[in-house]
Amino acid sequence: MTGPGGGAGSGAGSETGAGALDPASGAGAADPATGSGLGGRVGSAIRWSAINSLLQRVSQVGVGVLLARLIAPEQFGVFAVALVVLNIVLSVSEMGVSVALVRTDEPVEDLAPTVTTLSILSGCLLFGICVVGAPYFAEAMDTPEATGVIRLMSFALVIAGASAVPGALLQREFRQDHKFAADTSAFVVGTTVVVVMALMGFGAWSLAWSRIATNLTAAVVMFAFTKQRYRPGFDPVKAREALSFGLPLAGASLLVFGVLNVDYIMVGHLLGTTALGFYMMAFNLANWPVGAFSQPVRSVSLAAFSQVRSDQERFAATFARALRLLALVTVPACVLLGSLSDPIVRVVYGERWAPSAAPLALLVLLGALRVALELGYDYLASAGRSKAILYIHVLWLVVLVPLLALGAHLDGIRGVAAAQSVVVLLFIVPAYLVAFKPYGLRPGLLGAAVARPVLGGVVMGAVAVGVQWAVDEPLLRLLVGGALSTLAYAAVVYPLRGEVIGVLRRGGA
């Protein structure tokens, strides 16, 4: 899921700013509002998004450790049930039409009122469905105590519908500095709510109220930063255009969340709420690299890809360089989580969470591949291949469900984790490669682009595993294994240091 490396050397200083996303960005026309080219705007957006994402993820780890010691695993399981329902419905809450607003070549004011109407109406409708259907959803996962939590969290659908257009405009304009302010404000408010309520003994309810407080705060701040105000309107022609593009993406998004949440359903139904709590902890940890490293690039990738899609060579090179950058930072994080899963869980979260270590070691492969797949999703979406995305995720869900059930039967939550990674590696990666063929992204080129990060990951894993055999005490295993394996990875990928350094510098036009 990567590209040819973008031509220009990979040594230090070979790229700056937006070079990670567009090696030809220097040729872009200057933006009349900012005076900078596409490269400068993309580079600035990536930096702000990287700061935002890393700060959020590091802070969330700290809060997560605290909550793991305040809230019992079974309460995390109750919250997980509600989160499954919310995530699945959120994936179609605005029917994909906000993506059409991000990529449109037409004046924004022609489409935005219609998108506003569609987003708000769909959010309110789905909110009503969730409120009425909450008892049935909870019963289907053998967790009737989750009914009230589902109803509370479904209010996030109304918030998502109302804030879809401001969020799309910030993404379209590469204003990740404003997104940083929104996310930081939301994190502070949400953390305050969850910690106070957890200390008061509200369990799963504290997590649910925190989610609502977080979403509402982010929406308010995004509205404050959005200069344009679009009242609801409706143009039948524009609505058909937006829906014809957005509905397949919404269907694919529904399948994406189905794919990423059907394991929760299986674990909750087949193995119980406590096992679900352990599995949720493992999945969240394995998902850390996706949020920390994928989100900064994805925050600009759809808009950036859309602006260069008319030039196929540049289009492919932009994807290639972005994915190589992601591989450089994602591989070491995933290897550390996988090879040191047992001491990480025991030392950081406590002995009662030890059952999460085994699935975590297997889920990190899924996390690493998801980083590549999500970038591929944006690449195909910017090319207008929304139906291809839909077909891939239909395949994913159809293959995944029976294998998850088999994995749960054979080996509990560890078997479920193994099934996730196997399906992605054997079925979904090849499906994306087929979809990439028309754009010159061949498997040989893709493999060559990530060869050095993968080699570094292999060396890193070998060092970490060796330390696990030689050292018994969990804290020492974590510290020594982490330090030595990171040094080993850095030695292998040192020639590519410019890929990361370039993004940290200010991109020029």
The mean per-residue pLDDT over the stretch 366-395 comes to 83
What string of H, E and C letters represents the secondary structure of 402-433?
HHHHHHHHHHHHHHHHHHHHHHHHHHHHHHHH
The pLDDT tens digits of the residues spanning 443-488 come to: 777 787 788 899 999 999 999 989 888 888 888 888 898 899 999 9
Per-residue burial over 277-299, b if 16 or more Cβ lie within 10 Å, else e, is: bbbbbbbbbbbbbbbbbbbbbbb
CA–CA dist 341, 164 (Å, integer): 37
Is the pLDDT at 508 greater than 90? The verdict is no
> pLDDT category, 28, cuts 50, 70, 90?
very low
Taking a C-beta distance cutoff of 8 angstroms, is the pair 301, 375 a contact? yes
Q: Sorting pLDDT into bands at 50, 70 and 90, what band is 10?
A: very low
Tokens (6 digits) for 57 = 């993820």
Q: Give exposure, 63-88, as e/b (b: 16+ Cβ within 10 Å).
A: bbeebbebbebbbbbbbbbbbbbbbb
Residue with tokens 């509990």: 412
Sequence-ordered alpha helix ranges (H) in 19-107: 38-70, 73-90, 97-103
Instruction: Name the residue ranges covered by the structural domains of the chain.
Output: 1-50+278-509, 71-234
Contacts of 108 (CB under 8 A, 6+ apart): 101, 169, 172, 228
pLDDT for 30 equals 40
Give the relative orientation of helices 155-172 and 176-199 as an angle to the nearest 10 degrees. 150
Angle, CA of 446, 448 and 453, to the nearest 5°: 100
Task: Give the list of residues 6+ apart from residue 65 with CB closer than 8 angstroms, or none.
Answer: 348, 349
How far apart are alpha carbons 304 and 22 in whole angstroms?
8
Enter the tokens of residue 110.
């022609």
Q: Which tens digits make up the pLDDT trace of 218-265?
A: 888 888 887 777 777 777 777 777 677 666 666 666 677 677 778 888
pLDDT band, very low/low/confident/very high, at 351 (cuts 50, 70, 90): confident
The pLDDT > 70 percentage for the chain reads 72
**119: helix, strand or coil:** helix
Q: What is the mean pLDDT of residues 345-368?
A: 88
In this predicted structure, which of 125-139, 141-155, 379-393 has the lowest mean pLDDT? 379-393
Residue pair 101/165 in contact (Cβ under 8 Å)? The answer is: yes
pLDDT at 97 exceeding the cut of 80: no
Whether residue 326 contacts residue 369, with contact meaning beta carbons closer than 8 Å, is answered with no
A 10 A CB-CB count for 124 gives: 15
Which of 361, 357, 340 is CA-nearest to residue 278? Answer: 357
pTM above 0.75, yes or no: no
Nearest to 290 by CA among 48, 69, 444, 60: 60
Looking at residue 342, its pLDDT comes to 87
What average pLDDT score do residues 415-443 get?
A: 88
Q: 29: which DSSP letter? A: P
Question: 3-state DSSP helix/strand/coil percent for the chain, to nearest 5?
Answer: 85, 0, 15
- Say if residue 430's pLDDT is above 90: yes
Other CB atoms within 10 A of residue 304 CB: 28
CA-wise closest residue to 42 among 289, 305, 226: 305
The token pair that represents 237 in the structure block: 């022609």
Q: How confident is the model at residue 67 (pLDDT cuts 50, 70, 90)?
A: confident
CA–CA dist 155, 209 (Å, integer): 10
DSSP 260-295: HHHHHHHHHHHH-HHHHHHHHHHHHHHTHHIIIIIH
**pLDDT reported for residue 33:** 38
Cα–Cα distance list, 261 to 85, 388, 450 (Å): 9, 21, 28
Two tokens at 6? 């973008």
How many other CB atoms are found less than 10 A from the CB of residue 459? 17
Q: Which residue has the tokens 């959005």?
A: 226
Write down the pLDDT at residue 363: 92
Report which DSSP code applies to 229.
Answer: -
Residue 24 has pLDDT above 70, yes or no: no
Taken in order 314, 330, 192, 51, the sign of the CA dihedral is negative
464 is written with which tokens?
């970490």
Q: Which residues are CB-neighbours of 257 under 8 A, at least 6 positions away?
A: 87, 88, 90, 91
Assess whether pLDDT exceeds 60 at residue 26.
Answer: no
Structure confidence at residue 42 (pLDDT): 56
Instruction: Please tell me the least confidently modeled range out of 35-44, 315-324, 450-459.
Output: 35-44
CA angle 171, 175, 111 (to 5 degrees): 40
Q: Indicate if the pLDDT at residue 425 is higher than 70.
A: yes
- pLDDT mean across residues, the chain: 76
The mean pLDDT of 180-208, rounded to a whole number, is: 86
Pairwise pLDDT comparison (4 vs 447), residue with the higher score: 447
